[in-house]
Structure 1
Amino acid sequence: MLYIILFPLFFGAMLLYFRIADHYNIIDHPNERSSHSIITIRGGGIIFLIAALVLMGWHFNEFYIPMLGTLVIGVISFLDDMHTLSSRIRIIIQLIAVSLMFWYLNLYHLNPVAVIAAYIIVIGIINAYNFMDGINGITGLYSLVVLSGLQYINIRAVHFIDADMIWLPIIACLVFLFFNFRKRAKCFAGDVGSVTIAFWITLLLFKIMLFTGNWTYILFLSIYGVDTVLTIIYRLILKQNIFKAHRLHLYQLLANECKLPHLLVSTVYAFVQLIVILIVIQNSTYSSILLSLLIILPLILIYIITRLGLTKGNI
C-alpha cells in the first residue's frame, strides 16, 4: 500500500522540481558532448535524492549511513549541475561518500590494498555510469533493469538486504522514465541522477557480492563496463585526452552518427544487459572466471565489430 502512495508523491515532487528548475534556469544547454539539440530541464534525477530521504526516514537505524553517503554525493552532483565545480571538490566528496558506503559494508577490516582497490573500482563505476548518461532513457531504463535483477535475487534466491532498499529506487526510476523516456524528454537526469543512482546500485552490488561471495554479480554492469573501457582504449589509440568531453561511446555513435532513435538505442542496451543478468542468475554456481569470459568476450567482439562497421573499418 505504501508503495502505491509513493508514486503520486514522487510524481508531485518531480512536477514541483520542474517549476523550481524553470524559475531558476536549471537547464541543459547542448554542447560538444551532447547527443541532443534542444534546451531541456536538467537535474530530473533529483528524484533519487528524494527516494534516499524517504528511505532514510523509513529505515533510519538500518540505512542512515549508506543513505547519508547517497545524499552527500547526490547533493554535490546537483550543485555541479547548477554551477560547474572543480574536479578536486567532486573527487573529495566522492571519497567521503564512498567511505560511508564502505563503513556500512564493513570493508575496513580487509587488507589495505584491497580497500584501496575497492575505492578505485567504486569511483570508476560511478564516473563511468555518469559518462554513459548521454541519450534519452538510457540511465533510467538501464538502472531499472539492474535493480529489477537484484530485487529478483533478493526475493527469490538470496535475501541479502531489506526489499525497500531496492523498491524505492525502482519506483524512482519508473517515475523518472515517465518524463525522460520520450523522443523529446521533459527532463534529463543530470549528474545528480546518474551519479546518485550509480552510487546506490554499486552499494547494492557490493552488498550482494560480499554477502554471497559471488563476484560474478559485477556482470550486472557489463554492458556499461565494456562500452566505457573499450572506448577509453579506443581514445588512447587515437592519442586523445580521455578526460576531455567526447561523443565516441558506442551508444553515442549509434545515436548521433547512425541517427538511430535514442529510445531504441537505450532499449537495446537495457535489453542486452537484461539477457546478461538472466544468464548470471541461471548460472550463478559456475566458475566466476569462466562465466565472466563467456559473457565479456562476446560483448567485446560485438563492440569491436559494430564500431568497425560504423567507422568502415578505420580507426
Structure 2
Amino acid sequence: MIYLVLALVFFLTIKVYFKIAAHYNIIDKPNERSSHTTLTIRGGGIIFVVAALTALVWHFDEYWLPVLGMLIIGTVSFLDDINSLPNRVRMIFQVAAVTMMLYYLQVFANVNIFMVVLLYILVIGIINAYNFMDGINGITGLYSLVVLAAMQYVNIRQQAFISEDLIWLPALACVVFLFFNFRKKAACFAGDVGSVTIAFWIVTMLLKLIFTTGDWKYLLFLSVYGVDTILTIIHRLSLRQNIFKAHRLHFYQILANERKIPHLVVTSLYAAAQLLVNFFVIGNATNLMVNILVVCLPLVLVYVIAKSKLMHKTV
C-alpha cells in the first residue's frame, strides 16, 4: 500500500514540477546535436531526488551518507540544467559525492590508495557515461529499471546486500518517470538531475553488491551502456574529436537520428539487450573472464560491424 501512495506522490510531484518548469522556462531546446526537434520540459528526473529524500527519511541511520551524496550531486545537476555550470564546478561536487559513497562502502579502510583512485575514476566515469547516454525518449528510465530489477532479484533470491526499499524506491521513480518520458513525444526529459542521480544510486548499490559478494561480474549489469560509451570514445578519438563536447556518434544516436528508427524501438532494444545480459550473469557461476568474453564480445562485434554499415549507408 505504501508504494501505491508513493507512486501517487511521485506522479503529483512531476505534475507540480511541470508548472514550475514552464513558469521559469526550464526547457530543453533542440540543437544540431539533439535527438529531438521540439521544446520539451527538462529536469523531470527530479523525481529521483524526491525518491532519495524518501530513502533518507526511511533509512536515515543506515544510509544517510550515500543518500546525502546523492542529494548533493542531484542538486548540482539540477542547477546545471537551469543554467550551465563550469565543468570544474560539477567535478568538485561529483568528487565530494563519490567520496561520501566510498566512505559508506568502507573503501578507504579496506583497499590501497591505487584501488581508491581507480574506483574514483570508475564511478565518476560511469556517472558521466550514464548522463551522455541519456539522449532519446525512455532510455534512461527503462535501462535503469532493467538494472534495478536484476539487482533486486539478486538481493531477494541470491544474496541480500541492501535494504529492499533502496531498490524499490528508484524503480518506482523510474516507472512514474517513464509514464511521462516513454512516449513518441515525451512530456519531459530527465535532464542531468535525472540521469546523474539515478546513475549515482545504481553505482552505489552495484558496488555494495560487488563488495558483499566479492564478484566483479555484476559490473556487467551496465555492459550495454559500457560498450557503447567506451567504443564511442575510441571512435571519437580516432576522428580527433574533443570527447567532452556534445556529439551524435553513440550507436543509439546513429540508429535514432541517421537511420530514423523510432526512439522507443531503440530504447527497447537497449533495455532488452541488457536484460538478456543480466539473465546470463545471474544464472551462471563461471569465472569473471568468461563472463566478460561471453557478454562483451558479441556487444563489441554488433557495435563495430553494425555501426560501420549504418554510417556507410548515411554517407
| Superposition TM-score, scaled by structure 1 size | 0.98
Q: Mark the CA change 1:313 to 1:14 in structure 2 (over 3 Å): closer, same or farther.
A: closer
1:152 partner letter: Y
Q: Provide the C-alpha distance between the structure 1 equivalents of 2:198 and 2:44, rounded to a whole number of angstroms.
A: 12
Q: Provide the C-alpha distance between the structure 2 equivalents of 1:182 and 1:311, rounded to a whole number of angstroms.
A: 26
Q: Provide the C-alpha distance between the structure 1 equivalents of 2:295 and 2:249, rounded to a whole number of angstroms.
A: 23
Q: Percent identity?
A: 60
Match for residue 103 of structure 1?
103
CA contact (8 A) 1:308 1:314 kept: no
* Counterpart check, 1:66 vs 2:91: no
CA contact (8 A) 1:219 1:292 kept: yes
1:240, distance to aligned residue in structure 2 (A): 1.1
1:31, distance to aligned residue in structure 2 (A): 1.6
Match for residue 85 of structure 1?
85
Q: Provide the C-alpha distance between the structure 2 equivalents of 1:314 and 1:179, rounded to a whole number of angstroms.
A: 32
Post-superposition Cα deviations, 1:98-139, rounded to whole Å, max 9, x if no partner, equal 000001100002100100100000000000000000000000
Q: Provide the C-alpha distance between the structure 2 equivalents of 1:140 and 1:314, rounded to a whole number of angstroms.
A: 29
* Counterpart check, 1:192 vs 2:193: yes
CA contact (8 A) 1:77 1:195 kept: yes
Q: Provide the C-alpha distance between the structure 2 equivalents of 1:21 and 1:235, rounded to a whole number of angstroms.
A: 34
Root-mean-square deviation (CA), in Å?
A: 1.1
2:303 partner letter: Y
1:314, distance to aligned residue in structure 2 (A): 10
3-state SS, counterpart of residue 249 of structure 2: coil
Match for residue 162 of structure 1?
163
Q: Mark the CA change 1:313 to 1:293 in structure 2 (over 3 Å): closer, same or farther.
A: farther
3-state SS, counterpart of residue 188 of structure 2: coil
Match for residue 142 of structure 2?
141
CA contact (8 A) 2:40 2:187 kept: yes
Q: Provide the C-alpha distance between the structure 1 equivalents of 2:194 and 2:154, rounded to a whole number of angstroms.
A: 25
Match for residue 266 of structure 2?
265
Match for residue 299 of structure 2?
299
Q: Provide the C-alpha distance between the structure 1 equivalents of 2:246 and 2:5, rounded to a whole number of angstroms.
A: 40
Q: Provide the C-alpha distance between the structure 2 equivalents of 1:241 and 1:98, rounded to a whole number of angstroms.
A: 25
Q: Is there any run of 5+ residues in structure 2 with no aligned partner, and where?
A: none
Q: Provide the C-alpha distance between the structure 2 equivalents of 1:124 and 1:204, rounded to a whole number of angstroms.
A: 16
Post-superposition Cα deviations, 1:80-105, rounded to whole Å, max 9, x if no partner, equal 00000000000000000000000110
2:116 partner letter: V
Q: Provide the C-alpha distance between the structure 2 equivalents of 1:17 and 1:193, rounded to a whole number of angstroms.
A: 13
Q: Provide the C-alpha distance between the structure 1 equivalents of 2:203 and 2:97, rounded to a whole number of angstroms.
A: 12
| Superposition TM-score, scaled by structure 2 size | 0.98
Q: Provide the C-alpha distance between the structure 2 equivalents of 1:215 and 1:86, rounded to a whole number of angstroms.
A: 34
Match for residue 27 of structure 2?
27
CA contact (8 A) 2:258 2:314 kept: no
Q: Is there any run of 5+ residues in structure 1 with no aligned partner, and where?
A: none
1:60, distance to aligned residue in structure 2 (A): 0.6
